[in-house]
């Protein structure tokens, strides 16, 4: 009996050790492959976005394979046209801006220093010598080498891009096996809800892409025109930056606004003031009027949810996490609405409880009157 108990204990202990070892190995593999997993998730999100026009062509009688090929050709053509017509101008202005960065820094330092004429010690701390500026902003070749200093070789990067495009292409061209795999993750009673959740996710992702393209284009055109009028160097560069920062809600404002404002400060204070006013006004106009109308029928996500997701994904996974944050927020919202929120759709006291939480001392008269009118 004693031997039987010891054998059972030994087997259970051995099983626990093997399970713990297997779990550690799986976690280690996941940690090593996290960048690949995120890249695949981004490929799936793009595939869902591209699926819209492909499906539209299918409805017109085009086979799915040819529809996928047509959409990809259109996308690549647009990129090539942008690179051929706008690329040289941006490259030229990047070279000029990087070459003159030390001078811009010194002039901006001198402007800021003049604001504190009453404090000589603070002025001395704000003084920037030419050698200091050169060390902060290295030469163009050195900068390009630093930017290109990735862990992967150039050949490996090209291979990753090819594999990424292939993943998107195969996903769009033949999505049925992936849909079947997705549905197997749910119990039979929840498969219908899973299908509904995916349609909502698709709608949100397409709305996200569409809003980015519209908002990015408006930002880029407005910034390029205004900065050219104000004589700020590198207007095309800052316009392109304004387009891509649309992928990063709210936080992107500081990325696109600070560099041109600092360079404008090196010209004169008035120019810097007007550039600052432009970015603040355009950001408010886009955030409060244009973008809400663009996204109103698609994502309908509260800004706090997006900001939290951006910060959390950025802290966990860096830049790729920031790119995935907004569509991930849409995915979470869609799944929440389908699998959880509908349990409370018939709760007629929800609005009253929300009113109590918002106005613990009583609903304001204006709110009460408007509610009665409704």
pLDDT of residue 143: 45
Can you tell me which residue has the tokens 């992967």?
Answer: 152
Residue 178: partners with Cβ closer than 8 Å, 6 or more residues away? 171
How many Cβ atoms are within 10 Å of 183's Cβ, its own excluded? 15
According to the 3-state scheme, what is the secondary structure of 306-340? HHHHHHHHHHHHCHHHHHHHHHHHHHHHHHHHHHC
**Higher per-residue confidence, 245 vs 3:** 245
CA distance 50 to 272: 41
266 has pLDDT over 90: no
pLDDT of residue 222: 92
CA distance 101 to 219: 24
73 has pLDDT over 80: yes
Closest CA to 170 of 62, 68, 74: 68
Q: What is the pLDDT of residues 278-317, one digit of tens each?
A: 999 988 888 767 776 666 656 777 777 777 887 888 788 8
**Higher per-residue confidence, 320 vs 362:** 320
Mean pLDDT on 177-200 = 88
Highest mean pLDDT out of 116-125, 145-154, 328-337: 328-337
Contact (CB, 8 A) for 31 and 14: no
DSSP-assigned letters across all residues of 106-129: HHHHHHHHHTTTT-HHHHHHH---
**Higher per-residue confidence, 307 vs 192:** 192
How many Cβ atoms are within 10 Å of 140's Cβ, its own excluded? 15
**Higher per-residue confidence, 44 vs 362:** 44
**Higher per-residue confidence, 39 vs 298:** 39
Alpha carbon separation from 327 to 161, 245, 250 (Å, rounded): 21, 15, 15
Burial of 150 (0-12, 13-18, 19+ CB in 10 A): exposed
**Higher per-residue confidence, 32 vs 292:** 32
pLDDT of residue 279: 92
pLDDT band at 68 (very low <50, low <70, confident <90, very high): very high
Mean pLDDT on 221-249 = 86
pLDDT band at 159 (very low <50, low <70, confident <90, very high): confident
Using alpha carbons only, give the angle 84, 87, 91 rounded to the nearest 5 degrees: 145
- Both tokens of residue 327? 């569509």
- Please provide residue 149's backbone torsions phi and psi, each rounded to the nearest 5 degrees: -85, 75
148 has pLDDT over 90: no
């Amino acid at each position: 009996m004693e031997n039987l108990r010891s054998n059972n204990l030994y087997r259970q202990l051995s099983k626990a050790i093997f399970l713990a070892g297997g779990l550690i190995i799986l976690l280690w593999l996941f940690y090593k492959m996290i960048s690949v997993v995120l890249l695949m998730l981004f490929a799936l999100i793009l595939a869902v976005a591209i699926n819209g026009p492909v499906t539209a062509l299918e409805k017109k009688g085009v086979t799915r394979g040819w529809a996928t090929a047509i959409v990809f050709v259109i996308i690549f053509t647009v990129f090539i046209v942008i690179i051929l017509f706008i690329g040289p101008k941006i490259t030229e202005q990047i070279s000029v801006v990087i070459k003159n960065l030390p001078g811009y820094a010194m002039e901006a330092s001198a402007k800021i220093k003049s604001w504190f004429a009453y404090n000589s010690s603070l002025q001395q701390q704000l003084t920037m010598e030419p050698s200091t500026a050169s060390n902060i902003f290295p030469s163009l070749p050195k900068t390009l080498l630093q930017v290109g200093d990735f862990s992967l070789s150039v050949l490996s990067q090209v291979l990753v891009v090819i594999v990424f495009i292939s993943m998107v292409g195969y996903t769009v061209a033949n999505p049925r096996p992936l849909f079947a795999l997705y549905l197997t993750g749910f119990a039979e009673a929840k498969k219908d809800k899973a299908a509904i959740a995916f349609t909502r996710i698709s709608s949100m992702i397409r709305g996200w892409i569409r809003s980015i393209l519209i908002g990015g284009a408006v930002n880029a055109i407005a910034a390029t025109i205004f900065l050219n009028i104000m004589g700020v160097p590198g207007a095309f560069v800052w316009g392109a930056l304004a387009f891509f920062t649309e992928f990063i809600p709210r936080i992107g404002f500081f990325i696109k606004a600070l560099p041109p404002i600092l360079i404008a400060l090196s010209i004169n204070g008035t120019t810097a003031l007007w550039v600052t006013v432009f970015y603040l006004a355009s950001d408010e106009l886009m955030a409060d009027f244009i973008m809400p109308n663009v996204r109103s029928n698609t994502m309908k996500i509260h800004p706090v949810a997006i900001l939290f997701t951006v910060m959390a994904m950025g802290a966990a996974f860096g830049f790729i996490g920031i790119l995935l944050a907004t569509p991930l927020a849409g995915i979470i919202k869609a799944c929440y609405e389908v699998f959880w929120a509908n349990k409370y759709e018939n709760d007629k006291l929800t609005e009253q409880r929300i009113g109590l939480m918002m106005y613990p001392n009583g609903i304001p008269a204006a709110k009460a009157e408007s509610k009665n009118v409704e």
